[in-house]
Amino acid sequence: MRTILLAIKPKWAEKIYSGEKTIEFRRAIPKCIHPGEEEYVNVLLYESAPVSKVTGRCLMCVSAFAPDGKFSDETLKKGCVTEQEMASYSRGRPVYALSVSGAEKWDVPKDISCYKKRAPMNYVYQLLCDCGEPYDADNGPCHVRCKGCYRIVRRFEVNESGKCEMCTWDCTRDD
């Protein structure tokens, strides 16, 4: 599943975490979110100022598209916006409605430097380790999959052949 880092205003993020907002409106969407397909994308939510932190995650997929930015009252209600607010946002241009599910707010927000050098203006693609943590810019993922037992283990727990301690341990030796 593809992961993106999405910039969002704190008031909308709180509504997503509370479950009140189940539709997010965007004028531009990443290429990995395909209209007409129910394929979800993992989204890390970066709350803009004054929070300026990555505060949690959710899943999103395209649920509707309006070439003129006009949605039904029901869709607008799920997105927590009025018809006037949508008209001001879209200015007659195309808008996507992204369905939001599985929102999870983290206990400890993460600094943007864990993911990127600076905050995204809209969204950016993000590489994550198998454990869900961001890649270390200098050393790559913090976890890897063992080539012997296929368990996810910490990077430093594998040897040169890519196998973990459990796979290389010799049970016949006397200690």
Assess whether 111 and 143 both reside in one domain: no
3-state secondary structure of 147: coil
What would the mean pLDDT of 120-124 be, rounded to a whole number? 63
Tell me, what's the pLDDT at 79? 96
Does 130 reside within a domain?
no
Are residue 148 and residue 98 in the same domain, yes or no? no
Residues 73-93: tens digit of each pLDDT:
999 999 999 999 999 999 989
Q: Rounded to two decimals, what is the model's pTM?
A: 0.69
3-state secondary structure of 128: strand
Residue 161 lies in a domain: yes
Specify whether the CB–CB gap between 16 and 103 falls below 8 A. yes
CATH number of the domain residue 71 falls in: 2.30.130.30
For residue 101, the model assigns a pLDDT of: 94
CB 99 within 8 A of CB 78: no
Residue 124: its pLDDT value, please? 62
Q: Structural domain of residue 172, as residue ranges? A: 135-175
Asked if 168 and 105 sit in the same domain, the reply is no
Is the domain of 29 the same as that of 81? yes
Alpha helix positions (H), 91-141 = none
Instruction: Report yes or no on 12 lying in a domain.
Output: yes
Q: How confident is the model at residue 40 (pLDDT cuts 50, 70, 90)?
A: confident
155 and 173, same domain (yes or no):
yes
In a shared domain, residues 104 and 19:
yes
C-alpha to C-alpha distances, 61 to 20, 21, 25, 27, nearest whole angstrom = 17, 14, 11, 14
3-state DSSP assignment of residue 51 = coil
Q: Is the pLDDT of residue 54 over 70?
A: yes
59 and 117 housed in the same domain: yes
d(CA 166, CA 49): 46
